[in-house]
Amino acid sequence: MKIRGIYIDGFGVFRDLIISDLPDGLALFLGPNESGKSTLMEFVRTVLFGPAQGQDANRYPPLRGGTHGGRLEVVTDDGDLYIAQRINGRPSLRKGNGPSEVIEPASKLCPAVNRQIFTRVFAIGLDDMRGFEVLSGSGLGLLAASAGVDASGIAGALEYLEGKTSALLKPRSKKGEINSMLEKLEQIETALCDARTQSTEYARLQQRLGELRATICSLRTSIERATSRRTWIDALQRARQAWITIQSLALAQQRLSYVKDISANIASEHESLKSRLSAIQDELSDVEHQLEKLPERDAVLSVRDEIIEISSELARFREALEELPEMTGRLRQKEAALNRRLRDLGPGWNEEMLAQADLSMEAERECRSLAQQVKDAEREVEEVRKSLKEAQAKFTETEQAYRNARDQLEKRRASWPENLEQLSTVRELLVAFRERRKWEDPVHVLLPGLLILGSVGVILLTTETSGWVLGAVLVGVLLSIYLQTRSKSSSAKAALLQLRQLARGQSGPLAECLIEFCSRHRHTEGDFEELEERLKEASRLIEEARVSRSDVERAAAERSKALERLEDTKVKLKLAEEDVRNLHQAWQKWLASRGFSCSFSPEYADTVFQLAREAREAWHDLGSMRADLKRLQEYVEVLKRRIASVFEKIGEPIDPAQVSPRHVEELADRLRSAEEKEAYRSHLSEALDKKLRDLATVKAQLEQFYAKLGVKDEASFASLCEDAERWRSNQQEIEKAQRELHAIAGSHEVLSKLEETLRSVDFQNITAERAELEAELPRLEAKLEDALREEATCEARLAELASDEKLSRALAERQALALRIREAAEEWAAHVLCHALIAETKRVYERERQPAVLRTAAAYLDGIAKERYKLVEDIVSGTVELESENLSRRRECEWSRGMAEQVYLAVRLAFIEEFAREKEIPPVILDDVLVNCDPERQLAVCRVIASFAMKHQVLVFTCHPELADRLVAGATQAGYPWAIPCYRLKDGTLESVLEFAPNRR
């Protein structure tokens, strides 16, 4: 595949770039740095393969406008023309004039090459050539680079796979993942073997359990039998003693059989009779003794009814005694209260008057009316008196004001002048003098005179008419002024004279001051001002004196008015006092007529009636209380006398005044005590009679008792009782033994059997039998216990087996583990296979392809290097080395940069050769890949490139103009047959196109 034309719409610095008619062989693109060579290479890469992975589709944006992208015109090896286009990242391909197809152009044009291979092998720049790291590491780098695989891919992959397989499974260790799982599986299998025996064990255990249960049943029967026999023997042994006791006592009972019917209570019955007899005798003597000790009959019993009657009055008597002082006290309080009310009513009031006074409503109304009149009259007298006092005070006040005003007026009259007219005349004279006195000054006379003289002189000296006229006017004016001045000066003197005369006619300070002023020869302005001040003062004094005179007149008028009012008030007071006296006399008359005290004042008319009524009510209460008290006192006196008479009757007289409730109580107590003693006496008498009767009864009973038993006396009765007691004791012993036997037997049937056995048994034999049983039983019990224990164990184990999930768990675990092992084994196999396949592929690749590539590369290198080198693959290390003619080898790390780049270039060209044998390949683009070579080596490389370009299209990009010459020279040497176009690029534009014909040069 060859590029025929390049058309760029906009890509980096390029805009509307057109490069057409590119040759099939070599083409040179020359331009300085930044002229766009690398951009052009990237354009070719991008249009054919698209942007690199992870890069923006619109990389290299059109800096100078235009649509991003462009197209390439390519011709395939088959001669077909294709237009590969990529506009704004969208690819398309068109064959000839056919329709466009949206497809990655390279996928159709050179499907065996991807962008990675193209970038690393076909379109290489200086950076790609400098990629030492591409080949570093191991010799596989060369292979990898040529194989389109990541540099460290194969080695890294093999290393990873080895690690992975080793981690999964180790040949002899247990640490691998699968190893440990296999080991675990073995353990599970062992556990499973154990668990699988569960069913067998269950069946066996069930059988054993059946046997055990039968054994247990048999053992229990044997034990029960032995235990039962032993119990029987024990019963016989226990019953033996009782049996013997019964047999021996039976004989004694036969002898005493005559008393068997005598009751066991007979003795107690006898004893009871005896004790009763004795007790009655004791009681009898005791009663007699008590009767003797009782005292004589008390006298109070004779006045019993009176004492009872008085005692019934005791409560009332006591209340009366308590109430008497209390009532007296209340009476005193009432009396005091009544007295207080009487005092409140006023002096002269007593109980008699209170009873007589008319307290009716009519009297009250009259009293109130009359009292009101008196009060009104008294109030009027009071008001007139008050007015009199006020009139008196007013008169005193006006009298005082009048005197004060008169004194003030006298004080004003002491100063001059008398009136304001004179003072005004003085002021006018003074003003006239002040105005005219300055004309008296000589200057005022001399100056106009001199001016006149001067004017006359001028007139005289001037000969012209106008001078005369002017001089005459001036003289006239000055003359007039002079005359005026003289007139005024004389007027001032006249005024001063007149002033002095006026002052001499007066007295006082102002007059003295004026005289002194007039007597001066010279008067200053200060003198005038001082005099002016004096005049003002005099004017003010005259004004004040005028005001004082009017004040005196007014005060005199007010004083005469006050005096008049005072006289009127005095007359009014006399009349009012007369009225009051008359009313008081009427009041006293009314009081006498109604029975009231004369001390009753009218002012209390409102309250006296109320108070008098209350006092009368209290007086009534007091009367009833006095009657009650009297009745109570009479009752107490009567009762006391009755009590005293009772005491007199019983022979213990007392003073009636000293009688108190205590005496009544004393009488009652004594009566009660006497009655009790009397009752006791009669009781004792009755008891004595009863005891005598009881004694006779008991004696008769005792005699009947002896007769019934057939004994004569108490001694023979005692012998009978002794025999009866012995018989009973024997009988109890026999019954006890029989009970014991019954208890041992437990039932009547067994008792019969027991008694039968006891009659015939040999106790020596059964003792031996018991010893044997005693030894046998523990053995049987031990066997039973063992069997029970084993039964429990069996049952537990059966239950355990029934609920045991061991097998289930182990199976589940094995199943899960087997799955995991299978997965892990598959993974291991996959990794082992992967490793083996990569290794195998590497081997095949190296064997079948790599040597041819290396051979071709060596041939190219041979044309470049000064020495003859051979590219050799070291089989052991898998690296590529350079072997010189003397067979010395240089490893990759020992190559110089220039040498390394030559090797890489040679290898790439060789790889392309190999690739091109089977596949369509893209053109080769070399971007300044020779800069690290010396000129001689550059020429050699150019020769190789030219010879390579005879088979494949090669586009050489450079910024070194001399390289163009070397390329042409190299092409010439290589016999390159065609012209070489040289496209000069500058700043993103195609500057010129030259064409070299190497064969001609």
Partner 1 sequence: MRFVHCADLHLDSPFECLSATNPFIAATLREATFKAFENVIDLAIAREADFILIAGDVYDGADRSLRAQLRFRDGLARAAEHGIWSFVVHGNHDPISGWEAGLHFPREVVRFGDSVDVIAFERNGELLAEIHGISYRTRDTRENLALLFRRRSSEVPAIGLLHCNVGRQAGHENYAPCDLNDLYQTGMDYWALGHIHKCLVINQSHPCIAYPGTTQGRSAREVGPHGCYLVELESSGRASNAFVEVDGVRWWNESVDIEGLASLDDLLESMRSRMERLRIDAAGRPSLVRFCLTGHGRVHRILRREDALADILEELRKGERDREDFVWVDALSDSTGNAIELETYRDSPDFIGELMRTIARFRSLPNGADALRELIAKDHGTEYSKVRRWLSEETLLSALDKAEAIALDLLLKEETP
CA-CA distance, 842 to 880, in Å (whole number)? Answer: 14
Q: Closest Cα to residue 540, out of 445, 730, 412, 359?
A: 412
Which listed residue (474, 751, 811, 931) binds partner 1 by CB under 8 A?
811
Minimum CB distance to partner 1 smaller for 54 or for 99: 54
User: Minimum distance from CB of 11 to partner 1 (Å)?
Assistant: 25
803 contributes a contact to partner 1 by CB under 8 A = yes
Look at strands 26-30 and 954-958 and give their pairing: parallel
**Torsion angle (degrees, nearest 10) of CA 716, 719, 721, 725:** -170
Residues touching partner 1, count (CB under 8 A): 82
Which listed residue (65, 79, 96, 200) binds partner 1 by CB under 8 A?
200
463: number of Cβ within 10 Å: 8
Alpha carbon of 223 to those of 230, 267, 770, 781: distances in Å?
11, 57, 14, 7
User: What's the sign of the alpha-carbon dihedral 965, 969, 970, 975?
Assistant: positive
Which listed residue (203, 469, 483, 782) binds partner 1 by CB under 8 A?
203
- 234-242, 587-595, 843-851, 926-934 -> range binding partner 1 (CB under 8 A): 843-851
809 contributes a contact to partner 1 by CB under 8 A = yes
CA-CA distance, 925 to 49, in Å (whole number)? Answer: 15
Q: By the 8 A CB rule, do 554 and 406 touch?
A: no
Segment 457 to 516, residues that bind partner 1, using CB under 8 A:
none
137 contributes a contact to partner 1 by CB under 8 A = no
Minimum CB distance to partner 1 smaller for 114 or for 290: 114
Q: By the 8 A CB rule, do 245 and 734 touch?
A: yes
- 14-22, 232-240, 545-553, 816-824 -> range binding partner 1 (CB under 8 A): 816-824
- 338-346, 384-392, 494-502, 836-844 -> range binding partner 1 (CB under 8 A): 836-844
- 14-22, 195-203, 421-429, 589-597 -> range binding partner 1 (CB under 8 A): 195-203
DSSP assignment letter at 52 = P
825 contributes a contact to partner 1 by CB under 8 A = yes
Which listed residue (709, 838, 852, 950) binds partner 1 by CB under 8 A?
838
Segment 573 to 632, residues that bind partner 1, using CB under 8 A:
none
Helix (H) or strand (E) holding 588: helix 525-594
- 301-309, 368-376, 459-467, 806-814 -> range binding partner 1 (CB under 8 A): 806-814
- 581-589, 777-785, 813-821, 986-994 -> range binding partner 1 (CB under 8 A): 813-821
914 contributes a contact to partner 1 by CB under 8 A = yes
User: Minimum distance from CB of 788 to partner 1 (Å)?
Assistant: 23
Which listed residue (249, 832, 852, 959) binds partner 1 by CB under 8 A?
832
154 contributes a contact to partner 1 by CB under 8 A = yes
Fill in the amino acid letter for 640.
K
CA-CA distance, 978 to 25, in Å (whole number)? Answer: 8
Minimum CB distance to partner 1 smaller for 823 or for 995: 823
Segment 736 to 795, residues that bind partner 1, using CB under 8 A:
none
Fill in the amino acid letter for 26.
L
User: Minimum distance from CB of 851 to partner 1 (Å)?
Assistant: 14
959: number of Cβ within 10 Å: 17
User: Minimum distance from CB of 189 to partner 1 (Å)?
Assistant: 11
Which listed residue (67, 207, 560, 896) binds partner 1 by CB under 8 A?
207
Angle, CA 390 vertex, CA 386 and CA 393 arms, to 5°: 140
What is the secondary structure of 610-623 as a DSSP string? HHHHHHHHHHHHHH
Residues 6+ apart with CB under 8 A from 152: 137, 141, 144
861 contributes a contact to partner 1 by CB under 8 A = no
- 150-158, 599-607, 693-701, 789-797 -> range binding partner 1 (CB under 8 A): 150-158
Q: By the 8 A CB rule, do 953 and 960 touch?
A: no
Segment 657 to 716, residues that bind partner 1, using CB under 8 A:
none
924 contributes a contact to partner 1 by CB under 8 A = no
148 contributes a contact to partner 1 by CB under 8 A = yes
813 contributes a contact to partner 1 by CB under 8 A = yes
User: Minimum distance from CB of 188 to partner 1 (Å)?
Assistant: 10
Tell me whether the omega of the peptide bond preceding residue 977 falls within 30 degrees of 0, making it cis. Answer: no
User: Minimum distance from CB of 226 to partner 1 (Å)?
Assistant: 36
Which listed residue (136, 350, 808, 999) binds partner 1 by CB under 8 A?
808
In SS3 terms, 118-133 reads as HHHHHEEEHHHHCCHH
User: Minimum distance from CB of 905 to partner 1 (Å)?
Assistant: 19
Minimum CB distance to partner 1 smaller for 284 or for 807: 807
Distance of CA 877 to the CA centre of its chain: 78
Residues 6+ apart with CB under 8 A from 399: 559, 562
DSSP assignment letter at 296 = P
CA-CA distance, 135 to 144, in Å (whole number)? Answer: 8
Which listed residue (815, 877, 896, 999) binds partner 1 by CB under 8 A?
815
53 contributes a contact to partner 1 by CB under 8 A = yes
Query: At 208, is the secondary structure helix, strand, or coil?
Result: helix
Which listed residue (807, 852, 859, 959) binds partner 1 by CB under 8 A?
807
Look at strands 980-986 and 26-30 and give their pairing: parallel
Mark residues 4-43: x for contact with partner 1 by CB under 8 A, - for none.
----------------------------------------
Q: By the 8 A CB rule, do 495 and 432 touch?
A: yes
Which listed residue (167, 195, 445, 720) binds partner 1 by CB under 8 A?
195
Alpha carbon of 96 to those of 22, 111, 238, 391, 446: distances in Å?
17, 19, 140, 156, 149
919 contributes a contact to partner 1 by CB under 8 A = yes
Residue 871: beta bridge partners? 882
855 contributes a contact to partner 1 by CB under 8 A = no
* Distance between first and last Cα of the chain: 29
Mark residues 155-174: x for contact with partner 1 by CB under 8 A, - for none.
-xx--xx---x---xxxx--
User: Minimum distance from CB of 90 to partner 1 (Å)?
Assistant: 19
Minimum CB distance to partner 1 smaller for 836 or for 997: 836
Which listed residue (837, 893, 993, 997) binds partner 1 by CB under 8 A?
837
DSSP assignment letter at 658 = G
103 contributes a contact to partner 1 by CB under 8 A = no
CA-CA distance, 150 to 158, in Å (whole number)? Answer: 13
CA-CA distance, 27 to 954, in Å (whole number)? Answer: 6
- 188-196, 226-234, 383-391, 705-713 -> range binding partner 1 (CB under 8 A): 188-196
Segment 113 to 132, residues that bind partner 1, using CB under 8 A:
114, 116-117
Residues 6+ apart with CB under 8 A from 164: 831
User: Minimum distance from CB of 171 to partner 1 (Å)?
Assistant: 4
Residues 6+ apart with CB under 8 A from 404: 555
Structure tokens at 198: 């569960």
Minimum CB distance to partner 1 smaller for 109 or for 307: 109
Minimum CB distance to partner 1 smaller for 474 or for 838: 838
What is the secondary structure of 544-575 as a DSSP string? HHHHHHHHHHHHHHHHHHHHHHHHHHHHHHHH
214 contributes a contact to partner 1 by CB under 8 A = no
Residue 95: beta bridge partners? 82
Which listed residue (11, 828, 860, 957) binds partner 1 by CB under 8 A?
828
831 contributes a contact to partner 1 by CB under 8 A = yes
Angle at which helix 266-293 crosses helix 661-709, to 10 degrees, equals 150
51 contributes a contact to partner 1 by CB under 8 A = no
User: Minimum distance from CB of 959 to partner 1 (Å)?
Assistant: 31
